[in-house]
Amino acid sequence: MARVPERLRRLLPSARRAPEAAAPASPRPRQGHNLFEAAAEYVAACAEDDPARAEEAASRVSPGMLSFGVNELACRALLTLARERNQSPSTVARSLLGLRADPARPPAGDA
């Protein structure tokens, strides 16, 4: 009868763990740089005409990752502006770039 607890410990995975393994692991130190942080810093530096800061931000991640981050930031910003202006993203993008309204597309509210 005394061997029953011992047998149960061998069968149950939670009982097999060492006591120190049950404690939560400390958070790992951060490795590398967050591509969205680098992209945000890069775009802000470019907008503020600070080439040194833009270059430093660009050096944190690979060019492909920076491009992805900048693209994601542009898409989110464009969608936010389009919602605020109650216009289509295409109309807002063309407006921001100083392009004429696209005559082939109907205005956003005419659907």
6-15: pLDDT as tens digits: 665 666 555 5
State how far the Cα of 61 lies from the Cα of 33, in Å rounded to an integer: 7
Confidence of residue 105 (pLDDT cuts 50, 70, 90): low
The pLDDT assigned to 101 comes to: 80
What's the number of CA atoms in the CB half-sphere (13 Å) around residue 36?
A: 5
d(CA 109, CA 86): 8
Whole-structure pTM value: 0.61
pLDDT digits (tens, 9 = 90+) for 47-82: 999 999 999 999 999 999 999 999 999 999 999 999
pLDDT exceeds cutoff 70 at 17: no
pLDDT bracket for residue 92 (50, 70, 90): very high
